[in-house]
Amino acid sequence: MNAFSIASQRRLIWAELLSRPAAAAVAGDPNRPVLASLLAGRLCREGTLPASLGLPPAELDCLWNAYFPGPRPPLPDQAVEDIPERQDLVALLLEHRAGRFPSDIWLAFIVAVACAGRDHLWQDLGLADRGELSHLLFHAFPALARQNTGDMKWKKFIYRHYCTRDGIYVCPAPSCGECADHAKCFAPET
């Protein structure tokens, strides 16, 4: 399938998911469109998330039932490396969560699992673009996102924040050496 047809398929899945009526408690969640994009990306085999999205089965059921009730297509599975710092990353994100919607908690787990991927975080999440990731972080984890004043790449920023908080001063994000944007991410901060 070519990139144009994948993008078209992704938009159709995203629109179909958002056409479903969400539960009243989550209808105003600003992360609902991003969750729909994440699921659409996974259904199109984009990103590195497993079929569980990194959530326990009961939590994944809650996400689907509250945000996108109705028929649930099976998510393709993807083998994702478990990283030793995953629980610490979850804790970091939860410390900074907005606390308004259940998606904040789920997204902490999902983002931490995606940090093990080898691309930019938005790509590892299966999102359409970096703007969707910025939207997610500013709405689910606003206190953390606001600290990224230099528009640093999100995975690098999360790792830098995590490492600095724990007193670790040599702390590359996973696979940075393999990334096509290595020179840009590791250029001097301005």
pLDDT tens digit sequence for 114-137: 999 999 999 999 999 999 999 999
Q: With bands split at pLDDT 50, 70 and 90, how would you rate the model's confidence at 40?
A: very high
Q: What pLDDT does residue 82 have?
A: 87
CA distance 144 to 138: 8
Q: Taking residues 71-90, what's their average pLDDT?
A: 90
The answer on pLDDT for 78 being more than 90 is no
CA distance 112 to 92: 10
The answer on pLDDT for 187 being more than 80 is no
Distance from first CA to last CA of the chain, Å, rounded?
A: 40
Which among 20, 18, 55 is positioned nearest to 36, based on CA atoms? 18
Mean pLDDT across the chain: 88
CA distance 74 to 52: 10
Q: Taking residues 16-28, what's their average pLDDT?
A: 93
Question: Which of the pair, 164 or 181, is modelled with greater confidence?
Answer: 164
What pTM does this model have? 0.86
Total domains, the chain: 1
Q: What pLDDT does residue 27 have?
A: 87
The dihedral through the CA atoms of 88, 184, 80, 4 has a sign that is positive
Residue 94 maps to a domain: yes
What is the extent of the structural domain holding 115? 3-71+80-185
